Amino acid sequence: MTISLALRALCAAALIASFPSLARAATATPSPTPTPLHTVEHVVTADRTNETLRNVIRTTFVVTHAQIVRNGWRTVGDALADVPGVQISQYGAIGAGSDFGLRGSSSAQTLVLIDGLPAPGAFSGSVALSALTTQNVDHIEIVEGGGSTLYGTGAIGGIINVITRTGHYAPSASLEFGSFADTTTRLAIDGFSFERITAANAFSLPANTSGLTAQPNADYRETTLQYGSKTRLRGLDATWHVQLENDDLGVPGPIGSTSLTSREEDRNATASLSLTRTAGAASTTLALGGSRQTIGYGCSASDPNCYQKTQSINIDSRLSLGLRHSLDLASQHLIYGIDLARGVARTDSGGATPLSVVSNPFAQTAAYIQDRLLPNKRLQLSFGLRGERDAQFGGEFSPSIGLLARLTNDLSIKGNYASAFRAPNASELYFPGYGNSALKAERARVADLSLVNDAILGGATITWFSNTTRNLIVPVLVDPVNFIYQAKNFDLATIRGVTLSVRTRPAHGFSSNLEVTDLYTATDITSGMRLSNDPVFNVGVGLQYRADKRGIFSDAGIHVQSIGPRGTVDPTQPLFDQPAAYSQTNAYARFRLGERAMLALRVTNLGNERYAQIGGFPMPGRAFSLELSTR
């Protein structure tokens, strides 16, 4: 850690620790539980069991259904962009793919779950976070830091758990129109939901070397159907959820080599069933699930910028079974269980020979245990261990320890240290021209230390984190003439950083928040280069206002996010050829049109900054939308 960074962290820690009396003097009411991006009081992801957010040892953030509705976030990627420690890098407007991660980790190192089970594409490393809908989402839990003890492979950076709505709730409908021929229709009633999104995405481009004035072949069409329910069956709490999604989109590629004919069609399907029996302090849960992802790609053979001249199709199928038992006593919380998964990843690159079709089975078998001890009201200790076998990669043990100590009624310290791992996915192993069957599993050591103060404003948290990964899997250019990459292991990579989250309590309807991520180290030790798509410094500032319930005006908010450059920026390179630093300002205002109707006005990229989150893939300029909905 550099001296300047150490001073910053020390000052922030001193701020959190020093002013509880000042914050208490500002209000006569007890301070609320600090829940960043909150109102959900209980979470289920951090410990794979129901626990209050205040008592979880691992850093956990929550994005609620109310926040999603107010801000108009249509995808999970949109909803996570403001969470400290989260990085989202998108290849264009809505529908385009994205890279994502937690605390500097890659997409492959971040485990995405839907209702506690892996999302479609988990075996192939092709989870589409930027297309995963927020329709019918109750809330999203983000657990940062290594999670392999409870969740196994792929959780080096942490876990994103999308928890859907179940049971009976009031019917709702919305219709939204936006810039670039963007429309969204949504309907939800008694567990069933429907969503349809269409967008031309033909946004204008500033002067660039390609000569294009508008983004071509970037249109997007999406349809999603879901059903979820919760009931009581012969002493069991039963919850099930089914989701079907179909996406059709253009794939123009980077500016300068734009393809006018490349198309992609994605189909994602998930189904899950959870049965829980509770008897006193003990509960047993059986979780069954299945997912299937199909990605089809094709373009015209006469297209000079066609990435692949023949039709290809990738299929990822998975069946999962989990059985866990938890014991929740006054002085001990014990959980143990088994996880089983079987599946097939199939790639057909469209060639004329049988070698173009690759079909490989995958399997995961694991057992885990975690014991959380509460010797007194001010101390918690956590110990966990997982043993997992992933197909041909042999066995892996993943231990973890954690600590939560309440220094005062308002001030707490949390610490975690764990071993985490990731087996190579199907794309890295077998995808024609890119896969490398000789890859080794990634192994990481992750740690974090947090200082939490409930009494500063509405709650403040500062966290230092570290991740050291061996056998890091990265794409390496092996043929510079034909631009052919291959997945290879690097010896060692190191990531270190600090996050700061501060929120205010509502005062006269106003509240605000500050989220900072300083990823001061993200280096591949083997090459000495900074890891891609990891900006050094991110700052987000938000201001929200909620009016009383009597007038026409309901609420409004504005959020400014400043993203630092992703590595060294060359000022001689053309616009969009590299991801330089940028700021984005989003705002909304909502109005009551009646007892059951709401009108929302939203603007994205208010400052009309022209930038690329990934080099060569421009993002849209300023965009407006108008939404009419029930409430």
Residue 598, pLDDT score:
95
Contact 294, 317 (CB under 8 A): no
| Calpha distance 465→495 (Å, rounded) | 8
**How far is CA 549 from its chain centroid?**
33
Going by C-alpha positions, the residue among 449, 442, 443 that lies closest to residue 417 is 449
Contact 600, 588 (CB under 8 A): yes
List residues bridging with 499 in a β-sheet. Answer: 463, 517
All domains of the chain in start order, with CATH: 3-630 (2.40.170.20)
Residue 355, pLDDT score:
53
Residue 548, pLDDT score:
86
Residue 259, pLDDT score:
92
3-state SS assignment for residue 302: coil
Residue 365, pLDDT score:
96
Percent of the chain with pLDDT over 90: 66
| Calpha distance 112→99 (Å, rounded) | 13
3-state SS assignment for residue 141: strand
pLDDT for 38-47, tens place per residue?
Answer: 456 789 999 9
Residue 430, pLDDT score:
87
Residue 464's alpha-carbon distances to 181, 370, 408, 410, 453, in angstroms, are 43, 24, 21, 20, 15
Those residues with Cβ within 8 angstroms of residue 290's Cβ, 6 or more apart along the chain or in another chain: 270, 271, 272, 317, 318, 319, 320
DSSP alpha helix (H) spans, 55-124: 65-71, 76-80
| Calpha distance 55→36 (Å, rounded) | 14
Residue 209, pLDDT score:
63
Successive 10-residue mean pLDDT values, the chain, 631 residues: 38 38 34 43 91 92 94 95 92 92 94 95 90 93 96 96 87 95 94 95 80 88 95 91 96 89 95 95 96 93 83 92 94 96 87 66 95 94 96 88 95 97 91 87 96 91 96 86 83 93 93 95 82 83 92 95 74 63 94 93 94 88 96 77
Contact 519, 495 (CB under 8 A): yes
Residue 402, pLDDT score:
97
